[in-house]
């Protein structure tokens, strides 16, 4: 049943939260297990909806998945896979974008794959043209049908020379998951090099793949005939860590994020320090808190790794509503990731959106009709309001704003946040927030 979250804001969040494996790695590691001829073991698996979706999709393809959810352990046995009914795939895929990554592994295993219409957060058009183009280059035949895409490899899959128009994370993963068992050598130029990609490469290497990453964003994969299983501990979720860090700043709180890794947060931590946040790193995690002085405005541009990640943008915009002066945020990864600012404006924030590339470098959205730059003037006193969650990161950012705001906020659509934030209600409560959860009344 749909839930209604009521938040009495204005209390600093204080205490410890634990982050486990990255939402943007774990489901892909699970898909990689399909490529093996032996079982795999994955650790640090969070209880989030994207993991449930992939668990179900693997199960209907014959993979035996055993899971100790509390411990975060999962074993995946792909020794008896088969094709699944289209209607079943459609039913289990939910609104996730992960099904597209089943293409290569299923073609290697079963000769074919079916991809239902894809979901994911509504933060732009989110096309899959790069995915389909690289798959065609490997020799796949793509057949668009009314309810999805049927894809097959009647002549097998062969390594190819590829170049992405933009360093897409998903398309790079698509190439990796397809090339490792394709015949011959694949060379991918302009690849994404996010930490989650490196972790996926580590998994594939354990399975027997031969993959080289060059400094110029080129990845070379030498296809092999057979892959075994892997035993791997997923890297921590750097996006969840950054979200809690922003929550500490905005609520003037103090949060220790157990499990956060500094290595994958360099660009975030630089920005955090410049705006006035403090942090302290130890072997187990990172403590984040408000430095006590007026927060500083800044000019920020999202980018592919190693730049400031787009998923950090939304929580950071909430923090910038509290900075003293004018900040500029230029979103260069997704064309439509500022929709969440509408609710912030209703809460009292001063934010103007612009079609121009403001701040620094022109991006690929500059000549098009997208509101992809934001000018934020602060500080603004935020007041509680009624919010319907628009997307994963935007939704969490609304929670942060509501937790800092004066008065009461009611939040619907919080199920979206379960896609990527494990036990977030319990965590917020554990940090001392004044919240209440009840059944939402039908509109």
Residues annotated within a binding site: 23-24, 97, 311, 333
Minimum Å gap between C-beta 126 and ligand EPU is 5
Q: Which is nearer to ligand EPU, 128 or 405 (CB)?
A: 128
Rounded Cα distance between 389 and 115, Å, is 27
Rounded Cα distance between 206 and 159, Å, is 20
- What DSSP element (H or E) covers 93? helix 86-93
Is 121 known to be catalytic? yes
Q: Which is nearer to ligand EPU, 295 or 318 (CB)?
A: 318
User: If you write DSSP's letter for every residue of 281-297 in order, what string do you get?
Assistant: E-SSEEEEEE-SSPPPP
Minimum Å gap between C-beta 291 and ligand EPU is 27
Residues making up the annotated binding site for UDP-N-acetyl-alpha-D-glucosamine are 97, 311, 333
Indicate which single residue of 319, 420, 422, 427 sits in contact with ligand EPU (rule: CB under 6 A). Answer: 420
Binding characters for ligand EPU, 329-358, by CB under 6 A (x = yes): ----xx------------------------
Which residues in 126-185 contact ligand EPU (CB under 6 A)? 126-131, 166, 168-171
Residues making up the annotated binding site for phosphoenolpyruvate are 23-24
In 44-183 the beta strands, taken as DSSP E runs, fall at 64-68, 73-77, 112-116, 141-145, 148-152, 161-163
Q: Which is nearer to ligand EPU, 192 or 351 (CB)?
A: 192
- H helical segments located in 114-194: 129-137, 169-179
**In the 8-state DSSP scheme, what is residue 319?**
H
Which residues in 311-330 contact ligand EPU (CB under 6 A)? 311
Residue 249 Cα distances to 30, 255, 316, angstroms: 34, 9, 9
The residues facing 60 across adjacent strands are none
Q: Is 392 helix (H, G, I), strand (E, B) or coil?
A: helix
Minimum Å gap between C-beta 92 and ligand EPU is 16
Residue 195 interacting with ligand EPU (CB under 6 A): no
Indicate which single residue of 33, 44, 239, 418 sits in contact with ligand EPU (rule: CB under 6 A). Answer: 239
Residue with tokens 């933060």: 123
Minimum Å gap between C-beta 121 and ligand EPU is 5
Rounded Cα distance between 343 and 386, Å, is 8
Which residue has its beta carbon closest to ligand EPU?
170
Minimum Å gap between C-beta 199 and ligand EPU is 12
Q: What are phi and psi of 296, to 5 degrees?
A: -100, 140
Indicate which single residue of 31, 392, 401, 433 sits in contact with ligand EPU (rule: CB under 6 A). Answer: 392
Indicate which single residue of 20, 55, 61, 97 sits in contact with ligand EPU (rule: CB under 6 A). Answer: 97
387's tokens: 């919010």
CA geometry: angle at 398 spanning 18 and 288, to 5°? 40
Q: Which is nearer to ligand EPU, 50 or 77 (CB)?
A: 50
Q: Is 126 helix (H, G, I), strand (E, B) or coil?
A: coil
Size of the site for ligand EPU (CB under 6 A): 27
Minimum Å gap between C-beta 310 and ligand EPU is 5
Rounded Cα distance between 106 and 98, Å, is 13
The residues facing 67 across adjacent strands are 74
Where on the chain is the footprint of ligand EPU (CB under 6 A)?
A: 23-24, 97, 121, 124-131, 166, 168-171, 192, 194, 239, 310-311, 333-334, 392-393, 420
Any idea which residues carry the catalytic annotation? 121
């Amino acid at each position: 049943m749909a839930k209604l979250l009521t938040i009495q804001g204005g209390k600093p969040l204080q205490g410890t939260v634990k982050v486990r494996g990255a939402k943007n790695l774990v489901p892909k590691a699970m898909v990689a297990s399909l490529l093996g001829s032996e079982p795999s073991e994955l650790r640090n698996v969070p209880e989030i909806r994207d993991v449930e979706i992939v668990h179900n999709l693997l199960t209907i393809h014959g993979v035996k998945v055993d899971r100790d959810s509390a411990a975060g352990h999962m074993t995946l046995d792909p020794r008896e896979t088969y094709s699944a009914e289209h209607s079943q795939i459609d039913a289990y895929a939910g609104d996730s974008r992960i099904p597209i990554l089943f293409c290569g592994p299923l073609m290697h295993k079963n000769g074919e794959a079916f991809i239902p219409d894809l979901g994911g957060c509504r933060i732009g058009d989110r096309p899959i043209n790069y995915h389909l183009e690289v798959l065609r280059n490997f020799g796949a035949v793509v057949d668009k049908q009314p309810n999805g895409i049927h894809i097959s490899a009647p002549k097998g899959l062969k390594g190819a020379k590829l170049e992405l128009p933009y360093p897409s994370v998903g398309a790079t993963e698509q190439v990796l998951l397809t090339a490792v068992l394709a015949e011959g050598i694949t060379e991918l130029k302009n690849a994404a090099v996010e930490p989650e990609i490196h972790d996926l490469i580590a998994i594939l290497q354990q399975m027997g793949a031969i993959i080289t990453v060059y400094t110029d964003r080129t990845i070379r994969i030498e296809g092999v005939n057979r892959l075994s299983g892997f035993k791997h501990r997923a890297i921590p979720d750097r996006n969840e860590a950054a979200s809690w860090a922003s929550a500490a700043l905005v609520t003037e709180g103090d949060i220790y994020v157990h499990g956060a890794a500094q290595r994958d947060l360099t660009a975030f931590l630089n920005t955090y320090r410049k705006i006035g946040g403090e942090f302290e790193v130890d072997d187990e995690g990172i403590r984040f808190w408000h430095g006590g002085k007026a927060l500083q405005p800044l000019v920020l541009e999202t980018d592919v790794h190693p730049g400031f990640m787009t998923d950090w943008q939304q929580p950071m915009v909430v923090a910038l509503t509290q900075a003293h002066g004018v900040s500029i945020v230029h979103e260069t990864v997704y064309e439509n990731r500022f929709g969440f600012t509408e609710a912030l404006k209703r809460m009292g924030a001063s934010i103007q959106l612009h079609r121009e590339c403001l701040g620094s470098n022109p991006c690929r959205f500059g000549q098009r009709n997208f509101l992809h730059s934001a000018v934020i003037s602060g500080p603004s006193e935020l007041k509680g309001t009624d919010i319907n969650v628009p997307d994963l990161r935007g939704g969490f950012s609304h929670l942060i704003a509501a937790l800092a705001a004066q008065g009461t906020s009611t939040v619907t659509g919080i199920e979206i946040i379960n896609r990527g934030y494990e036990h977030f209600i319990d965590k917020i409560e554990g940090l001392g927030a004044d919240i209440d959860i009840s059944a939402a009344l039908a509109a």
